A and B are shown apart, each in its own frame.
Chain A
Amino acid sequence: MQDASQVHIIPYRDENHLALIQPLIDKDLSEPYSIFTYRYFISQWPHLCFLAMNKEQCVGAVVCKLESHKHYIMRGYIAMLVVRHDCRKLGLGSKLVSTAIEAMIASGCHEVTLEAEVTNIAALRLYQNLGFIRDKRLEKYYLNGNDAFRLKLRLQSTPKLRNLNYQGYI
């Protein structure tokens, strides 16, 4: 296992970083992503993509986006999070997510969401320790037929709802 003190978090810089992120994520995630998926997130929100570097090696990455939801909520979304196997249990995942959330807060984010497989205990623990709650259960969400939890973290109070249709809230 690596030493966490040697790992530092850097923001995404350019195409050369994408070449480090993509194989790391492709190796570990269950769902296949095309290059277009990476480009969709990283080209529009490069400031919300961070890498965990151990010298010249990329050992972790987080890819996010932030956009308006239902016209009045700024909702962040954590699309991908990965930490190399031999660098796990060092708090790198939490550090990457925390860094990304801080960047989202700086951009006026109200809440952050993501999906995690119901059987992914480690991921659920990571996000729940950061304050995320299980907001919804999505049945048969993944290609393998497993359910997902939609996790959500509220960062700011939303506007008063008394005169709004609930659908505007949700």
Chain B
Amino acid sequence: MASNDSAEVAATKASPDSPRVIPTLQGWKDVTESFDIAKNELELGEMIQSQDFNLYSAMSAIGLMDPKMDLGCGKVRDAREVQLPQALTAKQIINVMDQLLACEMSWLDSHTLPQTVFSCVYTHRLSEITQLELFTFLRLQLATMDSIITLVEDEKVADEEDFITWTHGFQIRPLRPGQSDGDEETLRSILKDIDETTARDPEYEKAERDAIALRIRFRVQFHRTVRYFTGHWQYDQWQSDGKILAELEQLVNSWSTCPFLHHVDKSLIDFVFDESINRHLLTSSPPRSAPIFDVSSALRYLKAIVNELKAFVSIRDLALVSPDPMHMSLAGIVENRHSLHVAVHAIQCFASEFKPKALTRSLMARMMLPPYVSLLFGHHHGDFIRLAMTDLGLDPKCDVKQIEQPGKLRRGISSLFKLFCRNQGRQRTNVLREVYWWDRFGVSCREVSDLDEAESGLRGDPARILDLSSTNQKGLNPSRSKQIESANGNCEAKPANDIKHSIPYYGQKPCLQYLSLELTARLMVHHWLLGFECNLYQTYEYSAVYFNIGYVLMSLTNATKTIVSKMSPERSMHPLRTALFLYDEGCRWLCKAFLTALEAFSTNDSFDYTSSYGGTSPTSTCQKIFGSGELWYEQRFGMFKGLQNDLVYADHESFLSFLKMQEESLQDDSKEADISILRLRDAADSFLTARRKLEHAKKFSQRCTPNAVTPQVLKAARVAVENSLVISRLLTAQTHPSTLTAKPSARKVSFNFSRHPHFPVLTITCT
């Protein structure tokens, strides 16, 4: 109810504990007395609550005048009332430009615009900037930011924790609003004018003129780069990407060595950059801290983005190269580009190694889209399906039309590549969606096949999955041994070109089913391997993780063998694809080796390690109350229980029965009573087998350079070698105790992931 006695209301003195008296405002009424009466009517603990008041509302509520929550309390400035300096000196202009870059990089690093770029008073009063250099710099910066925001919003691979696209109503516009083309003309005009403009001012020294010109050239080039990679270029200029990035890198390097970087007018910067001018815009939920980079850190961040882009663009050379690039024409190299798996592997390695920033990932996602994919894969038509066709041994020119559901396949592959454009945490969650998509796709392609499923090795029997060595086959059913040998074919001894059988090629549907099985398996392995990168596993879980990875890798390589067996004689597996196949085989043996070694440590009291849930960690008391090994296993691996395309989920019982069968198999053929020693020997053999596979892979991968497979092969091979030495030394100590100077009371097992993110080097230290 409006009150004309607002002055009287305002003058009313509240009790010492109440908030300060509000200023005089017409229409306000003091309801304190009414509130007290209502409060006394409530029972102790009774609460009035709306059904709409949910957890989000609760967490978003702020306590007014609480400095932890209320950003509105404290110093606030109005950007419109700040008295801008009449004219800045050259050094001051340089300082402001540097700080604007620092704010921009902080924004790209997931902080809000009000706390970064728009903490600069000049961004609110662009039209009042009298100095053309500063105006040009800021205008270009805002135009680039507009392109970046549009890109990130369109591609939708960045999440809230990566990048905030909310503009808060700030004026962020393209260089030429309403015109999608024509930026290049404006940029050239700016470059032409910049030297004239700085030369005109008699107060600028040469070094200052050069520094200002450098910063504006950078802005031009950065804007050009973003526009180029977001698809605003002439198609036949696709080979210019290296040149654009090289020029950008040179400008960034020059900026990093600029002598004016460290001559900062701090009082000016503190005056011009102040986030309190945007207090009213910040989110109502408790504030997130926004540490702004210093200029040197900002330039390092920018260099990292440039490096990421350079590395990503070079993937087209890594992913798909002809067997003999030196003697092939460009057209021939382009024609021979193929292998979906090698491309997926290359992008996966890039994402894992660089953990690219949101801007890079959004640009990656844009470059994955069919209209732009030629930049990446070199096909003029950017047809994803051609990648899959070559992996299946089909002629990309002729057989595309025969594929059923091409649109669906294209969607699946596009989505698959885009998966790697998410941050790691989101990748690990989203990969489950892709796994199930490919699984359902495979089921839809399934036909009744005349092939013996046992020969193809696809029906999973975990008991034999990881024991496919000639020595272990002795303990198995003879007919099964023959099946295994048939499934293995001669892959282990000969290059993939010689794997071809005389079985005729039956058609595309079964192959598409196997392709989907391969991709399903590859994605499952990726999900588990990301667990290592995200540091999700405790050491007692490693055994089961390696068991599951090895088991699925077995299904993957078996599916590949089946596809190869169906290839027509004139088609063969690409050397890089062969290398990847052998790398997968090598990893499978690494998994078996780790599993066996860890079980050996677990069954020997002298090792400080347990592989079972409920050993020393977590506490056995809690295990009894709260859960069991089976529940833990289901939680960790059970998300794949619903797969239907012949990829059998290895449940906890299968895992335990495999371990038991392995133990029995090892004991059958040996007089050694100590199972841990038998396991260690088996682990040593497995590490050596892994090493052989990986060296074989290296021979194929080195035929096509550069590529992303060779570095992975070398890393894994090194781990295999080092671990086989560790196990050998351990075996010597175990079997010849006299070599020890003193019997260790306990031996601690630790895992060093510095050589390879997924396969550690084992370290045994005596305590």
Contact = CB atoms under 8 A, between A and B. Distances in A.
Interface of A: 14-16, 31-37, 39-40, 43, 98, 101-102, 105, 111, 118, 128-141, 143-145, 147, 149, 152-158, 160-167, 169-170
Contacts of A101: 625-626
Nearest to A101: B626
A15 B45 contact: yes
A98 B622 contact: yes
B58 A39 contact: yes
Contacts of B425: 136-139, 147
B423 interface: yes
A157 B634 contact: yes
Given A37-B61, A140-B110, A155 B627 contact: yes
Contact of A166 (B54, B63, B625, B639): B639
B640 to A, nearest CB: 9
B737 interface: no
Contact of A153 (B433, B435, B626, B634): B626
Given A36-B53, A165-B436, 9 more contacts: A37-B58, A129-B618, A133-B541, A135-B536, A139-B162, A145-B288, A145-B289, A162-B641, A162-B644
Contacts of A154: 627, 631-632, 634-635
Contacts of B436: 165-166
Nearest to B69: A32
Contacts of B62: 34
Interface string B275-301: 000000000001111010000000000
A149 to B, nearest CB: 7
Residue picked from B53, B58, B161, B541, most chain A C-beta under 10 Å? B58
A166 B433 contact: yes
A162 B424 CA distance: 27
Contacts of A164: 642
B428 A136 contact: yes
21 contacts: A32-B286, A34-B58, A34-B62, A36-B53, A39-B49, A43-B45, A43-B47, A43-B49, A129-B617, A133-B541, A133-B635, A134-B536, A137-B534, A137-B535, A140-B110, A140-B161, A143-B286, A145-B289, A149-B536, A155-B626, A160-B641
Contacts of A133: 536, 538, 541, 632, 635-636
A130 B69 contact: no
Interface string B68-101: 1100000000000000000000000000000000
Nearest to A17: B45
Interface in B630-661: 630-632, 634-636, 638-639, 641-642, 644
A131 B634 contact: no
Contacts of A158: 634, 638
Given A36-B58, A98-B622, A139 B537 contact: no
Interface of B: 44-45, 47, 49, 53-55, 57-59, 61-63, 66, 68-69, 110, 161-162, 286-289, 291, 423-425, 428-429, 432-433, 435-436, 534-538, 541, 613, 617-619, 622-623, 625-627, 630-632, 634-636, 638-639, 641-642, 644
A153 B628 CA distance: 10
Contacts of B641: 160-162
Nearest to A130: B622
Contacts of B642: 161-164, 166, 169
Nearest to B635: A154
Contact of A128 (B538, B631, B635): B538
Contacts of B69: 32, 34
B631 A156 contact: yes
Contacts of A31: 286
A37 B66 CA distance: 15
Contacts of B429: 136, 170
A14 B626 contact: no
A152 B631 CA distance: 11
Contacts of A16: 44
B359 to A, nearest CB: 16
B639 A170 contact: yes
Contacts of A15: 44-45
A11 to B, nearest CB: 14
Given A14-B44, A43-B47, A145-B289, A135 B619 contact: no
Contact of B55 (A14, A40, A135): A40
Contacts of A39: 47, 49, 58
A101 B625 CA distance: 10
Nearest to B426: A139
Residue picked from A34, A156, A165, most chain B C-beta under 10 Å? A34
Given A128-B618, A129-B617, A137-B425, A170 B626 contact: no
Contacts of A111: 635
Nearest to B626: A131
Nearest to A35: B63
Nearest to B159: A139
A9 to B, nearest CB: 15
A37 B69 CA distance: 13
Contacts of A102: 625
B289 A130 contact: no
Contact of A137 (B59, B424, B625, B636): B424
A39 B161 CA distance: 28
B627 A131 contact: yes
Contacts of A136: 425, 428-429, 534, 536
A9 B601 CA distance: 40
Nearest to A156: B631
A69 to B, nearest CB: 13
Contacts of B54: 40
A111 B44 CA distance: 33
Contacts of A165: 436
Given A131-B623, A144-B289, A37 B632 contact: no
A153 B69 CA distance: 32
A4 to B, nearest CB: 16
Q: List the 7 closest A-B pairs by CB distance, nearest first.
A: A40-B58, A140-B161, A32-B68, A137-B534, A161-B642, A154-B635, A134-B536
Nearest to B536: A134
B614 to A, nearest CB: 8
A167 B535 CA distance: 24
A152 B627 CA distance: 12
Nearest to B614: A131
A121 to B, nearest CB: 12
B627 to A, nearest CB: 5
A135 B639 contact: no
A10 B288 CA distance: 35
A98 B621 CA distance: 11
Contact of B423 (A130, A139, A166): A139
Contacts of B63: 32, 34-35
A140 B288 CA distance: 10
Nearest to B161: A140
B668 to A, nearest CB: 35
Contacts of A147: 425
Contacts of B619: 129-130
B538 A143 contact: no
Contacts of B625: 98, 101-102
